[in-house]
Amino acid sequence: MSSNPFRPGAGHPPPHLAGRVAEKADFDKLLDQDVILKNAVLTGLRGVGKTVLLGEFKPMATAKDWGWVGSDLSETVSVSEENLAVRILTDLAILTSAVVVKKSDRQLPGFNAGIENNDVTLNYNTLNAVYQNTPGLVLDKLKTVLRFVAQNIPSDMRLIFAYDESQNLSDNAAKEEYPLSVLLDVFQAIQRENIPFMLVLAGLPTLFPKLVEARTYAERMFTILFLDSLNEPESREAIEIPLNNSPNPIKPTEESISSVCRISGGYPYFIQFICREAYDIWEVDPARSIPMQELIQKLDTDFFAGRWSRASDRQRELMFVISELSNSHSEFSVQEIVDQSCMWIKPFSNSHVNQMLSTLGEKGLIYKNRYGKYSFAVPMLGDFISRQPKPEELRKPVITS
């Protein structure tokens, strides 16, 4: 038995990255900017391969002499502006700690307090000393640190600040903490000074509307790279190439491959999940049909059930209504949901739908784009809902003459 090549993990690179040619080409153009006019937002539903593609962007950047700074943005970063600053300084120091600056060559005179040695490295202690000894707000301190770094690293060195799970970052007016706005203001300011530091943010589709809400100029500041599901040729490529490259090449039946393409909807995570389960069957007998119903049940249990359990009974009823819409797989409006719910004994009002959609957004089940339309935040959630027992007793009976 050979090793199973398929990897349905969170952010695990697949054995073969299918598709994403256009997104790579768009990112490659951003790397050729002499003056940073555009940054990048990499977005899409869970399981579509954002983290994997972000990992692919890194060698593309380093091949063009960009330094790569970054990590995940956890919820703790969003707690305060200071937490954001610590995150940026920590990540930046990993890259710059090998840079040695002689005291005689050090730029930004007046910011030498706390940096007493003749020669210093741009490690965390140095960056933090510059930060702490800069007067002003967190915004002022971070801009000064980035200027300090830019003036003391090699003149041909450009940096990318890449952050995954960026939808976790948000402003909190109630606590007077604005880490998202600070991040945008910092990079807009230093890029206006022609400092070649680019921002690359990856996250769920809620990310870009949050950026625009925080700062309206964000719409002009970013190029949006939206990852959708793979088309059928790309899906086949993701299935067949790893099988062909295995120590003992495997060729499943056309029926099996078509079934995986159909059931997965072209979502990379689902392809990896189904193929990992089917691999042991194919390895023994490639001509054997794979048990699709059993695999769907396992996918429902492992991927969808935990998310579905977050919703209350009434919220589930709303999502049943949405799943009946002809456009449930794309975008839908509040009014469409209200109209569809008239078929139910307990229909929803506009205000009720708005309120519940907001709550479902907080639970990661629905998202609203900047055009006022809504979508399921989980890929193929509508198909999962259609497989669940429907509360038929809540429907209005069909009256026939």
Are residues 49 and 130 both part of a single domain? yes
Q: Read out DSSP for 225-288?
A: EE-----HHHHHHHHHHHHHTSSS-----HHHHHHHHHHHTT-HHHHHHHHHHHHHHHHH-TTS
CA separation for the pair 238, 65 (Å, rounded): 30
Show the domain range for 376.
Answer: 308-394
Are residues 237 and 155 both part of a single domain? no
Are residues 268 and 346 both part of a single domain? no
CA separation for the pair 284, 338 (Å, rounded): 51
pLDDT at 362 over 90: no
Are residues 108 and 196 both part of a single domain? yes
Are residues 98 and 167 both part of a single domain? yes
Are residues 171 and 65 both part of a single domain? yes
> Do the domain assignments include residue 4?
no
Query: In the listed set 226, 259, 276, which residue is the last one of a domain according to the structure?
Result: 226
Residue 110: per-residue pLDDT:
45
pLDDT tens, 19-42? Answer: 899 999 999 999 999 899 999 999
Q: How many domains does the chain have?
A: 3
User: Of 176-185, 290-299, 325-334, which has the strongest mean pLDDT?
Assistant: 176-185
Are residues 276 and 214 both part of a single domain? no
The share of the chain scoring above pLDDT 70, in percent, equals 93
Q: Which contacts qualify for 132-140: CB closer than 8 Å, 24 or more apart? A: 137/81, 138/81, 138/82, 138/84, 138/85, 138/182, 139/81, 139/182, 139/185, 139/186
Are residues 199 and 252 both part of a single domain? no
pLDDT tens, 194-242? Answer: 999 999 999 988 888 889 888 889 999 999 999 989 999 999 999 999 9
pTM (predicted TM-score): 0.86
DSSP annotation of 40 reads E
Residue 112: per-residue pLDDT:
53
Residue 260's closest CA among 271, 251, 269? 271
> Do the domain assignments include residue 16?
no
- Are the C-beta atoms of residues 278 and 264 closer than 8 Å to each other? no
The band of 109, judged by pLDDT with boundaries at 50, 70 and 90, is: very low
pLDDT at 116 over 70: no
Are residues 217 and 237 both part of a single domain? no
Mean of all residue pLDDT scores within the chain: 87
pLDDT at 268 over 60: yes
CA separation for the pair 377, 204 (Å, rounded): 8
